[in-house]
Structure 1
């Protein structure tokens, strides 16, 4: 039976009423804080590894982290599909359907991540060879990668719980528990790398083990918090059966989740192909590129936070039948992306030497390479942010194939095609120019799909729930493109 109450719990926001811009910003800022903490954690760990274990170890973690993003993409789509269902259910005030979607997603993601983690452990050497991992970094990358694979189920469960909470309008709780994970991971890194106190000296395996421990502790603590605070997505008593995915609900999640996961895989494969091209340029270029990726993680954080907030807000409004607000949500998201991502790009361009020097030291031969990559490519993340907003809006109504096709074209024929095809004229600069050019192609495709694509028709309903309540298709001509 659908829950009818609209009462909010600690950290929750009603995303279907009130001023759009201020509500969106207030919802997005904690998500941005979570993303910054996550990136800060990766950067701190890279600093520990780079300073204590050297450039070979840093190159090893760079290769391993790209692979983990690939594995993450294999199961991430299920979580995103569940978030859409949770958001639209909450817009309809159908709490029961939200819990069913969340439970099925938990069961699917845990099963998938266990399988992927086991396969990753087994085939880690072959994956690293496909990447042309430099010989000096291969053994270190293998050790690091296998421990990270072991921690994949806990990491994926934590991400899914964060996504589900945001679907209910709660972006504060994920921020606090991301803080718990970061404090544990960053604090344990030097202890386990160097063997401080009673801990054994584990080298690069210590960095990965710290991440594993932090993920397990954080996910257990968050599950306990959701249960004892009686948050809307809590599952207890007879509701625990929802973790065993229902057949019809599973088909809905998989039909939407696979294309979303495929988008992550497209990004990952393109990233792996780029790493393969970079690795052939030597360990200094690989390290410089790895350092630049660390910095780019910060630059893209505002765009990712705003895109997630726009998606959650749009899903709730579609569920509530408030199509009149969707265009204004899109416009506010694009404006906030331009301001916040533009500010992040400006900071990284002005203070690049100081920031990049944190990772490798100011006398490292990798530093000028990283500075050069930053100068040519970082500005393209403003365009990337526009894509995240537009994709977030259309995905909130279950449109997943259009974004996948657009992303594939921008990543492969455009980005990688230019990176390889322009090398006779631009040399290695062709690799770095391919990033902003690919982002331009992506945002143009996203804008055309938002304006002319069929994403406004239909809605995503949970089988057996109150999926038809307040979810009428947008009346023709009432939703205008954002300006």
Structure 2
């Protein structure tokens, strides 16, 4: 007997995060996401090692400056994907598959258009952006070459991230892990090939590292789309469903109204990071290179926090969609505990073995002690960062985005940048590093207040009904699959 078009498929039970024990389910959901984060960070570190070994410290400084700019560009379109993920999670929690697919289709159309526009503008204004960062003169031409090639691959990289986020919204964190692995394998393997011109490949220097990323993301995206269609996963779009890529106005408003504030949060983080890079670059090339490498290590330290935050958000969204508010608080508590344990272990490991880890990046004798000092002052604060990510993940799961936006702005600019500038005359370069714990502590304190006393529980975020979906719901869908909230 054929199942109704708007009901979950046979694999839905495996992805159901609204029943059963919370802590084991959260960990099982978070671990593949953590694996994806590990692979992505490992990819960045391997690429940095290739660049440092073959092209030197100037190239390391160039890529660190360019990568922060890419994070800024990423933030400009990331919010749409996050908003769609919330919609997918809540729709899947209600078992409304058509709503989930319409949300994914709309996000694809919006992110593709936005990434093309951002990539084009980034290519054109790359010299001006690098100039605003006060990129060291020796690193400027390398950074420009690298950055412009990366901009070419922005649409593929953004869509790959979007599809991974959407799959996690349905409770599937394993599929994104496999295709992240494919992308990392290709990227890290092709880096020396294109940098050095091995075999038939041209010798591209620093542009070769960016070219490897472009090729890897393009191949991984194509493979993921094919896999989703072949396995008939919940977010697949085939046949008439392909029209969802041209979204309905009501759905565009739903995604944009939440996506813009989320994107603005990314932009605030990116702008603060760019401001910090400008301050760091004034300290000279050795400090700039040291800071760039510590960022590579921090990428690993923050991985558990990001994975747990994403898992908490996806799990909370499904339970909110299913009307199971009693589970949301338990999800938050489990996420906070996991963050302290997992992030704490990494912090201790990184601080204890800092010289060994830093030695992998071939830093010069002037940069190595600076990088060690930065890590000692800053790394522990990622435990605070992780707790904030858990709280933000829960409130965003119900569409609350303005509160976290304001909190981030205050913690990044009046606090972090303010501390860096105000204490500079007394602490010299250490003022830059102490500003990180200060900002993280302020961020967490405000996040706790918002979670405890904010109005985020009152809002509900739903995919607007299309006429076709409404007719189908009346004809075939059980009450639990409808678009109205359960009371």
TM-score, length-scaled by structure 1: 0.96
Three-state SS of the structure 2 residue aligned to 1:356 is helix
C-alpha separation in 2, matches of 1:471 and 1:376: 47
Distance 1:133 1:17, change over 3 A: same
Determine if contact 2:62/2:140 at 8 Å carries over to the other structure.
yes
Structure 1 stretches lacking a partner, 5+ long: 474-483
1:5 alignment partner in structure 2? 8
Q: 1:368 is matched with which residue? A: 369
Which residues in structure 2 correspond to 1:337-376 (within 5 Å)? 337-361=339-363, 363-376=364-377
Q: Secondary structure at the match of 2:360?
A: helix
Counterpart Cα distance in 1 of 2:168 and 2:461: 18
How far residue 426 of structure 1 moved from its aligned partner, in angstroms, is 1.0
**Which of 123, 126, 135 matches 1:121?**
123
Mapping for residues 423-442 of structure 1, pairs under 5 Å = 423-442=424-443
Instruction: Report how many aligned residue pairs link the two structures.
Output: 471
Q: Alpha-carbon deviation of 1:200?
A: 1.1
Q: Which runs of 4+ in 1 moved over 3 A?
A: 465-470
Q: Are the equivalent residues in 2 in contact too, given 1:28–1:171 (CA < 8 A)?
A: yes
1:218-367 equivalent positions in 2, closer than 5 A: 218-361=220-363, 363-367=364-368
Secondary structure of 1:102 counterpart: helix
1:4-153 pair list within 5 angstroms: 4-5=7-8, 7-8=10-11, 12-153=14-155
User: Quick one: distance in 2 between partners of 1:374 and 1:63?
Assistant: 19
Q: Note the C-alpha offset of 1:3.
A: 1.8
TM-score, normalised by the number of residues in structure 2:
0.95
CA distance in 1, matches of 2:383, 2:362: 27
Counterpart of 1:8 in 2: which secondary structure? helix
Task: Give me the whole-angstrom Cα distance separating, in 2, the residues matched to 1:32 and 1:418.
Answer: 32
Alignment pair present for 1:471 and 2:485: yes
The CA distance in 2 between the partners of 1:442 and 1:28, in whole Å, is 23
- Distance in structure 1 (CA, Å) of the matches to 2:451 and 2:420: 28
Decide whether the 8 Å contact of 1:191 with 1:199 is kept in 2.
yes
Corresponding residue number in structure 1 for 2:408: 407
8 Å contact kept, 1:84–1:167 = yes
TM-fit CA distance, 1:469: 4.8
SS at match of 1:86: helix
Query: Which residue matches 2:476?
Result: none
What is the RMSD of the two structures over their aligned residues, measured on CA atoms?
1.3
Cα shift readout 1:326-371 (whole Å, capped 9, x = no counterpart): 000000000000000001101100110001111124x532111000
| Map of 1:396 onto structure 2 | 397
1:322 & 1:104 partners in 2: Cα distance?
A: 27
Shift of 1:395: 0.2
Q: Which runs of 5+ in 2 are unaligned?
A: 474-480
Maintained 8 Å contact 1:16/1:317:
yes
Aligned to 1:452: 453
Post-superposition offset of 1:235: 0.3
**Aligned counterparts of 2:112 and 2:301: Cα–Cα separation in 1:** 30
